[in-house]
Chains A and B, each alone.
Chain A
Amino acid sequence: MTGLERLFDLALVVGLPVVALAVLTAKELRAAVALFLSLGLLMALVWARLDAPDVALVEAAVGTGLTGALLLASGLAAPAPPQLPGPLAQRLLLAIGLAGLLGAVGLGVATAGGDPGLRAAVLDNLQRSGVTHPPTAVLLNFRGYDTLLEAIVLLVAAVGVGSLRRERPVAIGPPGPLLLELVRWVVPVLGVVAGYLLWRGSDAPGGAFQAGAILAGGGVLLVLAGKLSAPRLASLRVRALLLAGPVAFLAAAALPLGQGGSLLQYPPAWAKALMLGIEVALAGSIAVVLLMFFPALAPARSGR
């Protein structure tokens, strides 16, 4: 561990809370969102330092990229009147409470040992899981139950957002020539990258979530350029895509029941094919759900 690495880690460790404080004390909301995006970049660097490339991919695509785009697209970043600080007693109590929490949790963390955790258990059973990348094996096989429920949570969120939407989409200006060219060049590349990440997820960092997020990004570009209409919950195609992921997962989970196994107990010979099928369906559902989070936009047709 060289001195330069230590310095880099120290910069990240100190930078995170400082940038977070800047996010929350920024005067304008637009500045706060911009700082939030840089906080996300710092977090991605931290994930890289902690040997977590899958997490870094998902954080960059979904946690930072998509969340930042959602915040900007929500139209809530209008200048707001400055807020007055609360009464002194309340602020003092909050500060003392947080200091106490910080101390207690910090103490607990500092006294935790160097336990390698469940690494050995996962690596011992890896060849029976059907894939060679440990996080993918954990996500779709060993802890498949969590991911199944997560797919259903996404469905619930989509229904929630879909039912809160107003009937008419927001009219925005026509797409400029730069955006149209960008869409022509970038969207096919996004499709290829998403497919590649989906396929590679079994042996290397990648998988359904990363692919779905990239597809959603391509979808946002298409909606902005007027090539795709924003997904509506009333449409049958949208409903089919939303249900594809959870239904595929449930079907794969229930498959072993017919052969005397329990839920999610994939037969080892079929495990890889089952997981790939689940990932493909899940990537499609994730892309549609993430796209639905954006407010419906209707760009005016550009005169030609």
Chain B
Amino acid sequence: MTPWLWFALSAVALFAVGLHGLFSSRQLVRQILAANISASAVLLLLVAFARRAPSGDPDPVPHALVLTGIVVSVSATGVALALARRLRVRPPGSRRR
């Protein structure tokens, strides 16, 4: 078994863990973490596929796609956290704002 295949299968397992966390958690921040983990798993799969040729340079097109993917997923996380902050129920007696 070649290394890229190991990492690709690890990515599949990582995706399943993230998906499980997304569906089985009821806390917003945990769901955001789980979605991030699943997104990282997909990106790992792409980069592993870029390394399929046994020698020479890796395929640069998936690398560019993954770079875009990381930045877009951080943007989504940023907006999700801004929404979560607005939705937060403040516990009684807290001093913030």
Contact = CB atoms under 8 A, between A and B. Distances in A.
B64 to A, nearest CB: 4
B2 to A, nearest CB: 8
A217 B36 CA distance: 20
Interface in A157-176: 157, 160-161, 164-166, 168, 170
Interface of A: 1, 6, 9-10, 12-14, 16-17, 20-21, 23-24, 29, 32-33, 36, 39, 43, 46-47, 49-52, 54-55, 58-59, 62-63, 66-67, 70-71, 74-78, 80, 83, 85-86, 91, 94-95, 98, 101-102, 105-106, 109-110, 112-119, 122-123, 134-135, 137-139, 142-143, 146-147, 150, 153-154, 157, 160-161, 164-166, 168, 170, 209, 286, 289-290, 292-293, 295
Nearest to B20: A98
A154 B13 CA distance: 30
Contacts of A143: 61, 64-65
A200 to B, nearest CB: 15
Given A67-B36, A170-B97, A51 B58 contact: yes
Interface residues of B, number: 78
Contacts of B57: 51, 119, 123, 134
A63 B58 contact: no
Interface in B32-76: 32-34, 36-37, 40, 43-45, 47-54, 56-68, 70-76
Contact of A32 (B6, B30, B40, B73): B30
Contact of B9 (A77, A106, A209): A106
Contacts of B96: 75, 170
B36 A110 contact: no
Contacts of A1: 3
Contacts of A147: 64, 68
B68 A157 contact: no
Most chain B CB within a 10 A radius of its CB, from A24, A70, A114: A24
Given A50-B58, A122-B60, A293-B78, A102 B12 contact: yes
19 contacts: A1-B3, A12-B7, A13-B9, A20-B18, A24-B20, A29-B29, A29-B30, A50-B50, A55-B63, A59-B70, A76-B85, A77-B29, A94-B23, A102-B16, A117-B49, A117-B53, A138-B60, A138-B64, A139-B68
